[in-house]
Structures are given as C-alpha cells and as structure tokens.
C-alpha cells in the first residue's frame, strides 16, 4: 500500500492492518514523525478505548493527517487519526 501527502506530494510505502472491528482508521505517531508529515490539530480530543473498554495507553487523539491512500488502482483521500500504535504503522478500520 502507498500513501502520499496532499501538501508535499511525497510518496511512501506502508504496511497496513485491515481491522473490520475498528470504527476509524489510524496511523502511528512515530511513522508520522519519522516522515515529517504535516498534521492538523482537532478542536476536541477523542478518547480511545480498547476492546475490553479500558482506556488506551496512547491517550487521546488530538491530531490527524490528511493523505491520499493508494492500493493498486484504488485511490482515496482520507483523514487518519494519529495514535501510538507500536506494532503497526497503519490500521484501516470500517469508516
């Protein structure tokens, strides 16, 4: 899978986890920092909860990144919530 920035037109290869139980899509904060992606601060931070209803250790979502997601011929512009994912760079949920 590839993603490209809207503002700088840089292209990155990334591995994604497809998770039909997730109601949003997320990108790892370390990936965002390492690539120098521009972020947007959201006005009201969003709490994140695990499957067992416990609060996620990564804390609240306070920033997003606006990117183009490409898989083969499929292309979609998407806002990805930035979160500390640790083992994944990208989680695509059902949103």
What's phi and psi for 33, nearest 5 deg?
-65, -45
Tell me how many domains the chain contains.
Answer: 1
In tens, the pLDDT along 6-43 reads 887 789 999 888 887 777 899 999 999 999 999 999 99
pLDDT of residue 30: 94
Helix (H, G, I), strand (E, B) or coil at 32: helix
Q: What percent of the chain has pLDDT over 70?
A: 99
CATH number at residue 28: 2.40.70
Helix (H, G, I), strand (E, B) or coil at 28: strand
Q: What percent of the chain has pLDDT over 90?
A: 51
Domain that holds residue 28: 2-92
Q: Quote the pTM value.
A: 0.86
* Complete DSSP assignment for 41-88: EEEEEE--B-TTSPBPTT--EEEEEEEEEEETTEEEEEEEEEE--SS-
pLDDT of residue 95: 67
**Could you tell me which of 43, 39, 83, 41 has the C-alpha nearest to residue 60?**
83
């Amino acid at each position: 899978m590839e993603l490209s920035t809207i503002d700088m037109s840089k292209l990155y290869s990334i591995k994604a986890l497809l998770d039909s139980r997730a109601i949003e899509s997320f990108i790892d904060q370390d990936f965002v920092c390492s690539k120098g992606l521009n972020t947007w601060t959201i006005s009201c931070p969003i709490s994140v909860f695990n499957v067992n209803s416990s609060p996620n250790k990564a804390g609240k979502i306070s920033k997003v990144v606006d990117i183009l997601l490409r898989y083969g011929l499929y292309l979609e512009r998407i806002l990805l919530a930035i979160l500390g994912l640790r083992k994944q760079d990208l989680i695509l949920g059902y949103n």
